[in-house]
Structure 1
Amino acid sequence: MRKTEYRKHEMVSTGKLGFMMPYRKPYFSGKVAKTFYPYGAELWREYDCFALSLLDGGAFFFSNAHFGAADGKTVLRAWEEGKLLAAWQGADGKVEWDRFWQIWDSTLCLPRFEQHVWLNRLYCLLPLAQAWLRTGEQRYARGWDKIFKEWMSAHPIVPPLQKAHESRSCWHDMQVTTRLIMLLHSVFLLSHGEALPAVSWRRIYRAIRLHANHVFVEAAQAHATKGGIGNHYQQKGTALVATAVLFPEFPEAAKWLATGRSVLEEHAAADILADGANIEASPSYSHFIARLSLDPHLFLIANGCETIPGWEGLLQRQYAYLAQTCDPHGNTLQVSDSYFMSAKADIALVRRLWPELAVTKRSGSNWFDPSKFGLLHQGCFDVAVDAGKTNLWHHHRGKPNILVWYKGEPLLIDTGCPNYDEDVRDRWCKYAAAHNVVTVEPDEEAAKWDELTAMPECKCLYHDDKTIEINHTCNTPSLNYNWRRRISLSDGVCHVRDSVRADRPVRISLHLHLAPVNMTLTANNRCAVIALDCGKARINLLSRGIKFNICDQLAIGTNNHWTRSAHLNVNKPGRTATFEWQIV
């Protein structure tokens, strides 16, 4: 056996950070390859690990609910306090890695899927590896090694393309890809100093090769059958490109690279729209997806590889869209499955990673027709209009939904999205009534009506700097209706007109969700007075013969935790209705 070799990363003349493998095995090709890792150690010392390696939505929401926050320092603190794995430990104190999948197996339901996959994707390794880089304290490296060794021992490889339940979903799809990405980052972080013994490095490199081959088979099969879609598929391409350029010694590296590039090109063509949005239409996911586009580009550039044709233009388009479609303070909008994050801070970090990024600041009013998303700004009002599709994984129903800010403060909000394991997400948050919309439901045989099966279409009829008008049509075997919404800003007034026409008697309802602030209704229930820090705003009903009803509902606040929100609604039975209202 060859003598164990440890090499620290070194700066080279190009200014890139040298990436030398801390350990090489004879089953590598034998050539000594210096490869380069594009995220410098100084960035890992400065930024939280989950700012550099963005979490997908499911992981963010679970971490936020389970640990109280979704950042690396919170996960690390849980480990230091002995609480990180407590929820998965049995009575004997041992970690039951598949504890919540076993609950699913026995009950034929899946109440804790995110809790199961969060652990088995091994997100928790990254904060430990980062802590080793920052401190050099051996306890972090030993903790990393212990978790990874125990996980590998508990999960023998299951061949690719098996049904998810064959491996309790642990050797399936995003679980494998995310673990691979956590390993790639960890190798860089742990190789600063002698963190691990040779036996551990051998285990890591075997696992990287094993995971990459598994991801390759899944990605190649999806690519061959044109069955790949969404960020799970894109992530496979990103992981394959990164692994191939970092580890050219593996004999499979060339095919990983070729397939990874093809997957990314296919995903970009199918999922990234002409305006820079993506079909999943969830703002925080859009940052995750844009980073999955950026990472392979950085890995290819850093290692002198040919970049993917047209990729720089694709990246510029994605980040320009993200810069334009945030709230007045530069944060992501909490629409669909999006969480609240600083878009401004993420884009600033990306500019450090890729200085070629040329992002314009958020402008006033704009309409993005491919994604059917618009912004209006005039005077004291900012309005976001989401008229996108409702039929994909991270979409919520209820379009065109609007969000309103008054003097920069949120006034009309989206109910938001909680941890995916909470059934209130599917029972309430994803339904149309949880948004600032008009709903139309049959009066008769209401039990047969399911908005989940309705696929309404929205089309922009008119837009300028002050006005957006959307036509919403829904045609189903049980109900056909048309809803037209016109939003206009002028002279310190936000004016909205909602007109509905159905082919049969229906229940027509207007729903408005207020930010969690003080609100009172006037005596006739036709005016809601909202007390904001910047002053009072009023929502007035202009149409005659209707009034506001009010109830208290759950909503997700800007801290990404549950709060309470006032829900105003107006109901009118019949075939037609007009709700005209304004905010002043």
Structure 2
Amino acid sequence: PLAKRYRQSGDENLALLLRDMMLWFSRNYPAPQDSAAIVRDWQVLEGRIRDEYNTQPYTVFSQNEKIVDYNWFDFQPASRMLHFLHTMYFLRDSPSLTAQDWQELDAMIHTHGQVIYLQERDCCQPHRSNHQALRAMALFYADAACCNPEWRRKGRELITWHLLNDYLSDGMLHEGSPSYHIFETWLCRDAAILAERAGEPLPAEALAMLEKAVAVCRMFRQPDGNSVVLNDGYPVNLSAFLASFPDQAELPAQASSSPAVALLPAGQLASWSDAGTFAFLDAGPFPGQFSHYHGGKNALTLWLEGKPLLVDSGCSNYDCRKFAEWYKLPEAHSTMLVDGAGDADIVGTYEWATSPTLSITPWQHTQQDGLWRISATATSVQKAWQGIAWTRSLTLGRKNQVCISDAVRSPRAAKFTFVFVLHPGVQAEISPDGCSCSLTHGVVQAKLNWEMQGLPGKPQLALAPGEVYLNFQNTPSQRLLVTVDCPGPGHFQLEHLVSWVCA
């Protein structure tokens, strides 16, 4: 950040630039004058988001050239105020800022605090939303800066509500996105610290949920230290955040076993980690009609020896055309397609018309062979999926081997395609006989073999283009497609055996 760079370098030209940027905003974008204006603006902008963005495809909303001022709406004033406060902190010893500059900046922070408070008091009821949680946490910071206990008390009321309502019973955020889970848990962490410092700590039940939420964050950690990606998510480097909880316990299953295994029974997410091998199964429930969600569930993330092999495609910028036209679609994820159709259907940018229903079993550990097993079952109301049940099982713990088993029960003839999204760094080659596929990523050389039960013949293998959002760029990748022709009603099971060596 520019302000941090100033603090490190002492370059007063940077200090003046930062001051000018903040004061320019303050002088050119005045806040709504009173509660009535705040309410009126809120209602207008909320309607525009609902009618002109969430339910419209990119081809429509990208042509909307209306000038819309969002500067004092929703999370904007809260996010901006926090950035300004951090900038002011880094500038605190600058000789370039005058007493008048500081007075104007302080008044600007006060204006932000008052607008956020009035929005929460007059425009909003508590509702599941990381945006509202951000505004609640911002009220704590506004009180710390401006000494207004009324703001802090409103923030405390709201952040307590969000801790008790935004999270499922196992500590997973209702939204189902690891990055949003980390984001909101960070907000709650800061609010809890500021509440304690103010002498009004959060209620015990809210703090207990915060502890659960932090433990869940540890479950998301991949071998590279970043969080796993799904549901409009992005990788988050967890090192600094988790270090702020040095005495925080892991999830019960993580703390008591080696390898580290974890299951969120309500969040329906499972992980397995041991010496650079990491598997993550996404059987997450549908969080709502307008939500951070993607189709293509029962999807698998798999790392071998610290190298990513199977990945989630991730999520681009929300205003990118490919956000709704690729990254949210089932075929962009390691899932199953029935006659080319995925398990969910989206209208516009955020409105889900259909979604799958999933269930997940607990981890099963067999002492005799030392193996760990888990399975999840998916159904969908999508037309092509009517009457079909798909169970994906994972078996881990055998040295240099992972077994993925897909069992399907179908009431009719259909073509089933199992999609595996490969990391862009993976080189893939299907064997000449079409019975196996080699996957190479750095020193890791893996091979996938298949065994089918319940149907004659063998699956058809193909490589298809895909796209993964990697390092903030849309990055070409490949998808391995494994297709089974089911000639009529029946049941079949396809085992994908992944074995590997390090060169």
- The one of 416, 420, 426 equivalent to 1:512 is 420
1:189 is the counterpart of 2:104? no
CA distance in 1, matches of 2:6, 2:326: 43
CA distance in 2, matches of 1:308, 1:246: 23
Report the Cα offset of residue 472 of structure 1.
Answer: 0.9
1:237 is the counterpart of 2:149? no
Partner of 1:463: 363
* SS at 2:460 equivalent: coil
Report the Cα offset of residue 293 of structure 1.
Answer: 0.7
CA distance in 2, matches of 1:380, 1:206: 51
Contact kept? 1:326, 1:333, Cα under 8 Å: yes
Contact kept? 2:164, 2:206, Cα under 8 Å: no
Report the Cα offset of residue 288 of structure 1.
Answer: 1.6
What is the total number of aligned residue pairs between the two structures?
A: 444
- The one of 147, 158, 164 equivalent to 2:21 is 147
Report the Cα offset of residue 285 of structure 1.
Answer: 2.4
* SS at 1:160 equivalent: helix
Report the Cα offset of residue 473 of structure 1.
Answer: 1.8
- The one of 500, 517, 540 equivalent to 2:408 is 500
- The one of 255, 261, 265 equivalent to 1:369 is 265
Contact kept? 1:442, 1:506, Cα under 8 Å: no
Report the Cα offset of residue 198 of structure 1.
Answer: 3.0
Which whole-Å deviations, capped at 9, do the CAs of 1:108-142 have from their partners, x for residues lacking one?
Answer: xxxxxxxxxxxxxxxxxxx33x3443344322221
CA distance in 1, matches of 2:139, 2:114: 9
Which whole-Å deviations, capped at 9, do the CAs of 1:140-173 have from their partners, x for residues lacking one?
Answer: 2211121122223332323323222695211110
Contact kept? 1:541, 1:547, Cα under 8 Å: no
CA distance in 1, matches of 2:304, 2:201: 48
Instruction: Give the AA of the match of 2:264.
Output: F
Report the Cα offset of residue 562 of structure 1.
Answer: 3.6
- The one of 536, 546, 568 equivalent to 2:459 is 546
Report the Cα offset of residue 367 of structure 1.
Answer: 1.5
CA distance in 2, matches of 1:293, 1:371: 19
1:437 is the counterpart of 2:360? no
CA distance in 1, matches of 2:414, 2:196: 58
Partner of 2:445: 536
Partner of 1:176: 77
Report the Cα offset of residue 295 of structure 1.
Answer: 0.9
CA distance in 2, matches of 1:462, 1:193: 57
CA distance in 2, matches of 1:469, 1:222: 44
- The one of 285, 288, 301 equivalent to 1:403 is 301
Task: Trace 1:137-536 onto structure 2 (pairs within 5 A).
Answer: 137-158=11-32, 159-161=37-39, 162=41, 163-164=44-45, 168-221=69-122, 225-226=125-126, 228-248=127-147, 253-348=148-243, 350-351=244-245, 357-358=248-249, 364-377=260-273, 381-392=277-288, 393-441=291-339, 452-465=352-365, 466-475=372-381, 479-480=385-386, 481-489=388-396, 491-492=398-399, 493-502=401-410, 506-515=414-423, 516-536=425-445
Contact kept? 1:381, 1:494, Cα under 8 Å: no
CA distance in 2, matches of 1:504, 1:209: 65
CA RMSD of aligned residues (A): 2.8
Residues 288 and 527 of structure 1: CA distance in aligned 2, closer, same or farther (over 3 Å): same
Contact kept? 2:195, 2:202, Cα under 8 Å: yes
Instruction: Give the AA of the match of 2:270.
Output: G
Partner of 1:49: none
Q: TM-score, normalised by structure 1?
A: 0.70
Contact kept? 2:174, 2:287, Cα under 8 Å: no
Q: TM-score, normalised by structure 2?
A: 0.80
Contact kept? 2:304, 2:444, Cα under 8 Å: no
Which whole-Å deviations, capped at 9, do the CAs of 1:33-89 have from their partners, x for residues lacking one?
Answer: xxxxxxxxxxxxxxxxxxxxxxxxxxxxxxxxxxxxxxx2xxxxxxxxxxxxxxxxx
Report the Cα offset of residue 506 of structure 1.
Answer: 4.4
Residues 385 and 221 of structure 1: CA distance in aligned 2, closer, same or farther (over 3 Å): farther
% identity of equivalent residues? 20
Instruction: Give the AA of the match of 1:470.
Output: A
Partner of 1:84: none
Task: Trace 1:18-29 onto structure 2 (pairs within 5 A).
Answer: none
Could you say which structure has the higher strand fraction? 2
Which whole-Å deviations, capped at 9, do the CAs of 1:258-288 have from their partners, x for residues lacking one?
Answer: 2111111111111122322212222222222
Partner of 1:583: 498
Q: Which runs of 5+ in 1 are unaligned?
A: 1-71, 73-126
CA distance in 2, matches of 1:131, 1:152: 23
CA distance in 1, matches of 2:377, 2:475: 32
Which stretch has the larger CA shift, 188-197 or 521-530?
Answer: 188-197
Contact kept? 1:442, 1:449, Cα under 8 Å: no
CA distance in 2, matches of 1:487, 1:325: 18
Report the Cα offset of residue 388 of structure 1.
Answer: 0.7
Contact kept? 1:316, 1:359, Cα under 8 Å: no
CA distance in 2, matches of 1:379, 1:191: 45
Report the Cα offset of residue 207 of structure 1.
Answer: 1.7
Instruction: Give the AA of the match of 1:580.
Output: E
Report the Cα offset of residue 359 of structure 1.
Answer: 5.2
